[in-house]
A and B are shown apart, each in its own frame.
Chain A
Amino acid sequence: MDMIDYPDGEQFSPGHVACAGCAEALSLRVILNTLGADAIAVVPPSCTAVICGGYPLSSVSIPVQHTTLESAAASASGVKRSLNALGKTNTTVVCLAGDGGTYDIGLQALSSAAERNEDILYVCFDNEGYMNTGGQKSSSTPLNAITGSTPAGKLSRKKNLVEILAAHRIPYIATCSPAHLSDMSAKIKKAASIRGTKVIMVIIPCLPGWGVADDAAVKTARMAVDSGVFPLYEVEDGVDYTMTIDTRNQSVNAYLKQQKRYRNLSDKNISDIQADVDKEWEYLLGRARK
């Protein structure tokens, strides 16, 4: 049993407006409490922006700059440089962005911040689609998944953003899951202790977006990890890969069957996805062994 072990300093308040059962709200709570009070958040439009709260309320106790969809990394750079110029160098600047704001429209700004190795922590809540606008595809949406803009299932695969970021040779990248909260807290803590650009990718099974039951978000996240669809690992300096969990104990079948976005999969689709996950898993293990 993975015990939840993190300091709950009440950085995240109850009463927020996430869907009941949302794993993103749970992850936010862990991340914000791990970072503590000396942090400033930069949030582009996304579920997080809504969860953080509408004026004059806020469900997070640290200051938030709500920025534009494509600007999170650039805005965070601005906050950090400003803090540096004003002598407040210890404050953590954290982006809390969705996959659309990260894989797609914000990738240019993120790549540039990573290239400059800006001292920011970038957290991507990867719910594999544009949920704020009602659930359209992003480049993080996996093959065959039905979304509002891919009614017949997406025809292309999910972008491997970790590899793209690793190619920038930034000091730290890690993947996290809301089914592994102690690990999430530890990785956030580690990232916050490193100078330079750090990126944390969190898989967020979205209740309406993926078509999973209200009480199944955490379970679905666990299945994503256990089947190897979403492996937990770290990449240091862009080249040193470490598997957090280096075994798989189930096929993709049960994971896919959990989700209505995969309702039209044929047996052939499922075996193709399995073959792809197997190949990626071996590839990742190979990188971690080197």
Chain B
Amino acid sequence: MKEKQNLQLLSGNHAVSWGVKLARPHVAPLYPITPQTPILEKLTEFHSQGELDAELLTPESEHSAMSACVAASLTGARVFTATSSQGLLLMHELLHYASGARAPIVMFNVNRTPGSPWAFWPDQIDSLSQRDTGWIKMYSESPQESLDTVIQAFRIAEKLALPLMISHDAFYVSHAVEPVELPQQELVDNFLPAYNPELRLDTSLGQSFGAPIDQATWNRSRREAGEAMARVENEVLETGKAWGELTGRSYAALENYRTEAADTIIVTMGSMCGTVRDAVDALRDQGTAVGLLKVRQFRPLPVQTLRDSLAGIPSVLVLDRNYSPGMGGILHQELKSALFGMRDAPRVHGLLAGVGGVNVSSNKIQQLVAEYADAKPSNDSVWVE
């Protein structure tokens, strides 16, 4: 482990802005929304001070912001934007458009409850309901991870020509302040290859994008996107490892915490991981063999790695900070389908914990383990009181 240098106290959102600045995007269309706004304001501040040499656009809506992102990306620029909740939902049409166009935009989303009723609390339904839009989706649990992931995201997205969305939870991560190590510009410049797409809108090339096509060609375009998706996990792994060699902080698609010889594994995403680590430590101290499996890469879901990680584990608790009415917790459903047909599959308990931002304490998680570890699981996700 390298010695930490250049530490700064940063909120999760400001850590994102630092990551973006270090990645040197060419174009950043931005529209404000609580709790994303500090990302935007830090970037415009960097820009006005001459520290960020990018074309910043402030259009009238997130819909136009994402339209500009797609167009700028197809013209050959490295592109970043950030949003949250209503803004992400307003972009929905363009999210499909971006992935169909294979535009490697990097977007940061701050997970927040969508209206109605109006609320500003951490809940992942905004990004999870964009599950099928063809974006790579990653979840971060801390300011440092958000900064590191933004930089890695450009390398992954541009290599595979897929757009990539990273999310962190409102307030718990977006506004929580912690010491963050800022990498040197030179380090990032060496890590991130320049973006030079072969296909782009360029009058010297004459290529066009998005013209009407027949059924077979549309079909092929999605198959090709799927083939690129199949390469994501490996790319996330290699990129996370390369970053680790430079900074001492490695990353993977799924991350294990104290899962050795575990009887019960808790699976979750985002800020909940921090609380689970605390609960795992307390339970391990009491002699209970519990571990955490953190899902950092949600799309594509690393199915085989999930199966390998959970093989032989008697009991799995999924903590979902989201709720799909009529279906349940989305990670719960995804995990069940990922493990389907596995011999000796674990008992999977889906727990709706923290929906709407309600607090889930370490004590609560310890209680849940005691309550559910040996219980017979229900098909449906269960509300945690």
Contact = CB atoms under 8 A, between A and B. Distances in A.
Partners in one complex: yes
Interface of A: 37-40, 42, 49-50, 52-55, 58, 61-68, 70-71, 73-79, 81-86, 88, 91, 108-109, 111-113, 115-116
A116 B57 CA distance: 9
8 contacts: A52-B208, A55-B211, A78-B68, A79-B71, A82-B76, A86-B75, A112-B61, A112-B64
Interface stretch (B197-205, B346-354, B366-374): B197-205
Given A65-B201, A65-B209, A75-B67, 8 more contacts: A53-B211, A63-B203, A66-B212, A71-B94, A75-B71, A81-B72, A83-B75, A109-B63
Interface in B35-83: 54-55, 57-61, 63-65, 67-77, 79
Contacts of B55: 81-82, 84-85
A54 B215 CA distance: 12
Q: Using C-beta atoms within 8 Å of the partner chain, give the interface range for chain B.
A: 35 or more
Given A82-B76, A85-B54, A77 B59 contact: yes
Interface string B243-258: 0000000000000000
A85 B27 contact: yes
A38 B97 CA distance: 26
4 nearest interchain CB pairs? Answer: A78-B71, A78-B68, A66-B210, A74-B64
Contacts, number: 150
B210 A74 contact: no
B93 A68 contact: yes
A108 B70 contact: no
Given A58-B211, A116-B57, A74 B67 contact: yes
B71 A76 contact: yes
A116 B209 CA distance: 26
Contact of A78 (B27, B97, B209): B27
A53 to B, nearest CB: 6
Interface of B: 26-27, 29, 54-55, 57-61, 63-65, 67-77, 79, 93-94, 97, 201-203, 205-214, 217
B266 to A, nearest CB: 41
Contact of B201 (A54, A55, A63, A74): A63
Given A65-B201, A77-B68, A82-B27, A54 B209 contact: no
Nearest to A54: B212
Contact of B71 (A54, A61, A67): A67
Nearest to B209: A65
A78 B202 contact: no
Given A67-B71, A78-B70, A86-B75, A58 B208 contact: yes
